[in-house]
């Protein structure tokens, strides 16, 4: 490499990375710990036996999860209504040459009627997207259609009290001029019904502490709980049960 060429390439790469769209979702005020915790939870639910099939990043947005899947060496398709998915992907692959761009494809469209053949994907990843869908039944029919038998749809979503939270109410005020924008509650019984009617399995839940306010114990209290303190165990179980219903839910369903 000629002297100075490496410095130019590095400088050019730094300019690209400073594009705020390429730094999403880590610079828009969202809790980075929560984002990475939830992404880790989602990735932990991937079925190793299905990774020979491409993965669908449903509601890809800025394509940060698409990027993560490609970094893992898996084929991935970004799908969203976003008007410039190609630009999002090109920006990310240009900003880091370690990403194999050949692993990434994209398609733009409506989640209620996706432009894919049936039995195409081994996994469908839905991170904070389902609660924006207008028709859960139609969306789950599409999920079932595009998954291969044995394929898994994995979700990280807000819970049953999402629409009435102070954060959501404030956000809806910002979006009040957009009649297409909705914030729905994710009620597990309703989602389970939609999934099973569409031909998917009963939901499988992954209860977890809230990454923005994780449960913390002194060693003394933890050992007490571990040794059978029923009051402490019941309190912890109740907190976990409420959190993983009202506030946030991580789950998957399988296409038989």
The percent of residues in the chain predicted with pLDDT above 70, rounded, is: 89
Q: How far apart are CA 168 and CA 184, in angstroms?
A: 10
Give residue for tokens 């009620």. Answer: 187
Residue 120 backbone zone (phi > 0: left; psi -120 to 50: alpha; other: beta): alpha
Residue extents of the structural domains in the chain: 9-214+248-254
pLDDT digits (tens, 9 = 90+) for 123-132: 999 999 999 9
Res 164: pLDDT: 75
pLDDT digits (tens, 9 = 90+) for 191-237: 999 999 999 999 999 999 998 889 999 999 999 999 999 999 999 99
Q: What is the largest CA-CA distance in the chain?
A: 70
Superfamily of domain 9-214+248-254: Vaccinia Virus protein VP39 (3.40.50.150)
Q: What is the pTM of this model?
A: 0.89
Contact 157, 41 (CB under 8 A): no
pLDDT digits (tens, 9 = 90+) for 77-125: 999 998 899 999 999 999 999 999 999 999 999 999 999 999 999 999 9
Q: How far out from the chain centre does Cα 215 lie?
A: 22
Classify residue 121 as exposed, middle or buried by CB count within 10 Å of its CB (0-12, 13-18, 19+). Answer: buried
Res 29: pLDDT: 67
């Amino acid at each position: 490499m000629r002297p100075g060429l490496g410095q130019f390439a590095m400088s050019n790469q730094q300019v690209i990375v400073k594009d705020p769209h390429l730094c999403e979702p880590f610079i828009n005020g969202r809790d980075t710990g929560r984002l990475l915790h939830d992404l880790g939870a989602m990735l932990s639910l991937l079925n190793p036996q299905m990774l020979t099939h491409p993965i669908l990043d449903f509601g890809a947005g800025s394509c940060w999860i698409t990027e993560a899947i490609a970094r893992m060496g898996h084929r991935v398709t970004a799908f969203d209504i976003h008007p410039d998915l190609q630009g999002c992907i090109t920006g990310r692959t240009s900003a880091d040459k370690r990403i194999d761009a050949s692993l990434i494809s994209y398609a733009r469209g409506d989640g209620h009627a996706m432009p894919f053949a049936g039995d195409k994907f081994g996994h469908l990843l839905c991170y904070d997207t389902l609660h924006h869908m207008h028709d859960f039944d139609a969306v789950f029919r599409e999920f079932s259609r595009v998954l291969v038998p044995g394929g898994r749809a994995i979700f990280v979503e807000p819970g049953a009290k999402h629409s009435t939270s102070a954060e959501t109410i404030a956000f809806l005020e910002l979006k009040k001029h957009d009649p297409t924008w909705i914030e729905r509650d994710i009620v597990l019984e309703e989602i389970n019904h939609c999934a099973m009617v569409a031909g998917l399995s009963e939901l499988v839940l992954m209860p977890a502490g809230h990454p923005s306010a994780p449960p913390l114990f002194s060693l003394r209290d933890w050992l007490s709980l571990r040794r059978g303190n029923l009051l402490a165990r019941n309190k912890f179980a109740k907190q976990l049960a409420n959190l993983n219903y009202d506030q946030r839910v991580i789950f998957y369903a399988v296409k038989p």
